């Protein structure tokens, strides 16, 4: 059978997963049960809740007697490690661009990776049914972006289609069609078949899975040769080599893995029984141990410190609370998360290095749901020394805001040392591109939504390293810190809410040093939220005024991380997110400030 291996790449929410759904349904690659779902490829809970793809996943369809292996990739730059692995298995990419938004920062990121890998692109201008769609302009912007990123003449001579992914329609030219037949035919015509060398079996591991029955499963594209169930292969690792027996071999069809007796060159397959294998290793025949180049992954740019929970409420809600259990979980994560680094600073302190806040917060949220309890500190950027100068990471930021709100956005970004590189104006909105220090964006998203009244859109991705800009003021408010342990009363919250934006409801248990709200001024404020109104049997006219409380702010894990100051921690448990001071005792904090 002939093969075509293709990855679908795009910015977040430009419609990759929805288009893959339609391809699977129209190629009749799904069972009746699976065909009824939406965003079928987003299989884990976090992906479904957030509406984004986090893990690259494999599927396959047959069209015209040719098997098309499809890899659905994440659109967010924080999951770039997944994108890089996916692109190592394919020979072409399907680039989706929103017909209204055009190329966005993550489009730039994933497209740059595809161009560097010399992959042939097919461009799909998606969502052309939108009221503000501008497909022809977006096509020109996409061409300009490819040229700017150094695409070859062959890559610039790309075929393009228009699509409405939600309705399962894509077409060449100006005449709409009701199905995806043009898209499938374009893939068969323009994406090259995998180059297959002659020789013994060779496969580079691009992904891992695990089965309680079959052991570790290695996923990758067969570069050459074949292998059968029961044969022994050689795993060429980064530091050592070992033998492993093929327990089972699988190929993909729809959402299923089909067991096969023998794998075929050019196909993307899964091989079970590969104990000790790591991403980037090469599986080879014993008689021809030749390693393929290891996968190169971009270096992390953000770090966060993780420790066991030490608050007065420690151990009440979590199932796994010790440093040993946390360490085992982090080591397990390293096996599949190639963009993550874990440094053991002390037996109780772990420094996590990742591609961005979202990359790290998804890991923390996953651990939380598994029953882990821990504390994390404020995220910080990883600095580099280059040519005798300290350099820091910069982000390429795009904002799209109403004209009336652009002034406050510019003022805020100016204070954060952002440099504007491009601006477009029209239809009452402004779209501007900035280059900004990565640490200046910590806590900016919440502030941005506030100053734009929720009408602004922002996205960013890693731009590169540049000169260190010195001190940055990213938070202009202080914290309201509980000075007594107990239960919060509505009476206390009501008396304080003019000065404090609270994070807790009446009836919430608090401890000394727990952050209960945000002070409107830039200093921290110790408050007592445990005072209740004294009750007597004497009533005076008008003394019982109604208590009307402003609803408290409820943080997601990312928002809580953005809020943290250097002397604060986020307590993460399966049921709660609590902000606290590192030093809980108010007198201890005063002494620390004096030093």
| CA–CA gap between residue 300 and residue 302 (Å, rounded) | 6
DSSP string, 76-130: SGGGHHHHHHHHTT-SEEEEEEETTT-S-HHHHHHHHHHHHTTPEEEEEEE-TTS
Q: Residue 197 gets which letter from DSSP?
A: B
Cβ partners under 8 Å of residue 545, min gap 6: none
What percent of the chain is predicted at pLDDT more than 70? 91
**What is the maximum alpha-carbon separation in the chain?**
97
As a whole number, mean pLDDT of residues 297-324 equals 89
Helix or strand holding residue 8 (H, E):
strand 2-10
As a whole number, mean pLDDT of residues 564-582 equals 91
Tokens of 43: 């299989």
Count Cα atoms within 13 angstroms, Cβ side, for 592.
Answer: 10
For the cut 80, the answer to whether the pLDDT of residue 145 exceeds it is yes
To which residue do tokens 């599949």 refer?
A: 336
pLDDT of res. 326: 93
64: number of Cβ within 10 Å: 10
The answer for 256, left when phi > 0, alpha when psi is -120 to 50, beta otherwise, is beta
Count Cα atoms within 13 angstroms, Cβ side, for 593.
Answer: 12
3-state secondary structure of 340: coil
Q: Which residue has the higher pLDDT, 507 or 16?
A: 507
pLDDT of res. 449: 82
Sign of dihedral through CA atoms 308, 314, 316, 317?
negative
13 touches 53 (CB < 8 A): no
For the cut 50, the answer to whether the pLDDT of residue 42 exceeds it is no
pLDDT of res. 295: 76
| CA–CA gap between residue 574 and residue 564 (Å, rounded) | 20
Tokens of 69: 């292996």
For the cut 90, the answer to whether the pLDDT of residue 372 exceeds it is yes
| CA–CA gap between residue 319 and residue 373 (Å, rounded) | 7
As a whole number, mean pLDDT of residues 233-255 equals 85
202 touches 192 (CB < 8 A): no
The pLDDT tens digits for 258-310 are: 888 888 888 888 888 888 888 888 899 888 888 888 877 777 888 999 999 99
483 touches 527 (CB < 8 A): yes
Count Cα atoms within 13 angstroms, Cβ side, for 361.
Answer: 19
Band the pLDDT of 540: cuts 50, 70, 90: low
As a whole number, mean pLDDT of residues 562-579 equals 90
Q: List the beta bridge partners of residue 124.
A: 96, 161
What percent of the chain is predicted at pLDDT more than 90? 21
| CA–CA gap between residue 59 and residue 254 (Å, rounded) | 5
135 touches 162 (CB < 8 A): yes
Q: Is 551 exposed, middle or buried (0-12, 13-18, 19+ CB in 10 A)?
A: exposed
pTM to 2 decimal places: 0.76
Of 313-322, 381-390, 565-574, least confident by mean pLDDT is 381-390
| CA–CA gap between residue 389 and residue 472 (Å, rounded) | 18
| CA–CA gap between residue 479 and residue 509 (Å, rounded) | 18
The pLDDT tens digits for 149-169 are: 888 999 999 999 999 888 889
Sign of dihedral through CA atoms 284, 290, 295, 299?
positive
For the cut 90, the answer to whether the pLDDT of residue 351 exceeds it is yes
DSSP string, 262-327: B--TT-EEEEE--TT--TT-EEEETT---PPPPPP-PPP-EEEEEEE--STTTTSS-SB-SHHHHH
Buried b (16+ CB within 10 A) or exposed e, 133-150: bbbeebbeebbebbeeee
| CA–CA gap between residue 500 and residue 527 (Å, rounded) | 10
pLDDT of res. 426: 78
pLDDT of res. 361: 85
Helices marked H in 370-512 — which ranges? 406-415, 444-451, 490-496
Residues in the chain: 595
3-state secondary structure of 425: strand
pLDDT of res. 47: 45
579 touches 568 (CB < 8 A): yes
pLDDT of res. 470: 81
251 touches 284 (CB < 8 A): no
254 touches 205 (CB < 8 A): no
Helix or strand holding residue 329 (H, E):
helix 323-336
The pLDDT tens digits for 428-458 are: 888 898 999 988 888 788 788 888 888 888 8
pLDDT of res. 542: 53
36 touches 100 (CB < 8 A): no
As a whole number, mean pLDDT of residues 451-478 equals 82
Of 12-16, 23-27, 371-375, 539-543, least confident by mean pLDDT is 539-543
| CA–CA gap between residue 7 and residue 110 (Å, rounded) | 11
As a whole number, mean pLDDT of residues 367-377 equals 92
Band the pLDDT of 581: cuts 50, 70, 90: very high
Cβ partners under 8 Å of residue 130, min gap 6: 98, 99, 100
| CA–CA gap between residue 354 and residue 375 (Å, rounded) | 17
pLDDT of res. 471: 79
The pLDDT tens digits for 54-85 are: 445 678 888 888 888 888 776 555 455 567 77
471: number of Cβ within 10 Å: 5
Band the pLDDT of 185: cuts 50, 70, 90: very high
Of 468-477, 554-563, 580-589, least confident by mean pLDDT is 468-477
For the cut 70, the answer to whether the pLDDT of residue 144 exceeds it is yes
3-state secondary structure of 472: coil
301 touches 356 (CB < 8 A): yes
pLDDT of res. 526: 92
Band the pLDDT of 53: cuts 50, 70, 90: very low
Mean pLDDT of the chain: 84
For the cut 90, the answer to whether the pLDDT of residue 573 exceeds it is yes
């Amino acid at each position: 059978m002939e093969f075509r291996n293709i990855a679908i790449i795009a910015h977040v929410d430009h419609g990759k997963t929805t288009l893959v759904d339609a391809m699977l349904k129209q190629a009749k690659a799904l069972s009746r049960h699976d065909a009824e779902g939406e965003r079928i490829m987003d299989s884990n809970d976090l992906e479904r809740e957030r509406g984004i793809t986090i893990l690259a996943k494999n599927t396959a369809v047959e069209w015209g007697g040719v098997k098309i292996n499809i890899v659905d990739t994440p659109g967010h730059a924080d999951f770039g490690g997944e994108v890089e692995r996916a692109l190592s298995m394919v020979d072409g990419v399907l680039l989706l661009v929103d017909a209204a938004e055009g190329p966005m920062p993550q489009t730039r990121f994933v497209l740059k990776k595809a161009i560097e890998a010399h992959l042939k692109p097919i461009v799909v201008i998606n969502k052309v049914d939108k009221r503000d769609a501008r497909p022809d302009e977006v096509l020109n912007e996409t061409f300009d972006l490819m040229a700017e990123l150094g695409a070859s003449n062959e890559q610039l001579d790309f075929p393009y289609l228009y699509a409405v992914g939600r309705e399962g329609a894509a077409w060449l030219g100006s005449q709409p069609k009701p199905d995806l037949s043009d898209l499938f035919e374009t893939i068969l015509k323009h994406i090259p078949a995998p180059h297959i060398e002659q020789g013994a079996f060779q496969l580079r591991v691009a992904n891992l899975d695990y089965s309680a029955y079959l052991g570790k499963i290695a996923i990758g594209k067969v570069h050459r040769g074949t292998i059968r169930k029961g044969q022994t292969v050689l795993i060429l690792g980064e530091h050592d080599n070992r033998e492993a027996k093929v327990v089972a071999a699988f190929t993909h069809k729809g959402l299923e893995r089909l067991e096969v007796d023998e794998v075929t060159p050019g196909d993307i397959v899964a091989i079970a029984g590969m104990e000790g294998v790591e991403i980037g290793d090469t599986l080879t025949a014993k008689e021809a141990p030749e390693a393929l180049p290891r996968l190169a992954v971009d270096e992390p740019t953000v770090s966060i410190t993780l420790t066991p929970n030490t608050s007065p409420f420690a151990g009440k809600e979590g199932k796994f609370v010790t440093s040993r259990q946390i360490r085992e979980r982090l080591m397990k994560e390293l096996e599949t998360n190639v963009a993550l680094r874990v440094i053991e600073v002390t037996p109780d302190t772990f420094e996590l290095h990742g591609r961005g806040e979202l990359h790290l917060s998804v890991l923390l949220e996953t651990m939380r749901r598994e029953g882990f309890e821990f504390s994390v500190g404020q995220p910080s950027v990883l600095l580099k020394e280059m040519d005798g100068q300290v350099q820091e990471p910069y982000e390429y930021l795009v904002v799209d805001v109403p004209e009336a709100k652009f002034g406050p956005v510019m003022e805020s970004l100016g204070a954060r040392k952002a440099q504007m590189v491009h601006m477009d104006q029209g239809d009452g909105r402004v779209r501007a591109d900035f280059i900004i220090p990565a640490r200046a964006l910590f806590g900016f998203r919440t502030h941005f939504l506030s100053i734009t009244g929720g009408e602004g859109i922002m996205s960013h991705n890693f731009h590169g390293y540049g000169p260190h800009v010195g001190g940055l003021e990213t938070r202009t408010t202080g914290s309201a810190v509980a000075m007594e342990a107990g239960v919060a009363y509505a009476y206390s919250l009501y008396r304080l809410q003019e000065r404090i934006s609270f994070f807790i409801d009446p009836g919430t248990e608090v401890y000394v040093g727990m952050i209960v709200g945000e002070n409107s001024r830039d200093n921290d404020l110790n408050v007592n939220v445990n005072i209740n109104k004294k009750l007597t049997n004497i009533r005076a006219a008008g003394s019982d005024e109604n208590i009307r409380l402003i609803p408290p702010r409820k943080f997601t894990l990312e928002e809580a991380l953005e809020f943290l100051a250097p002397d604060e921690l986020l307590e993460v448990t399966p049921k709660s997110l609590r902000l606290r001071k590192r030093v809980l005792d108010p007198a201890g904090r005063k002494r620390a400030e004096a030093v």
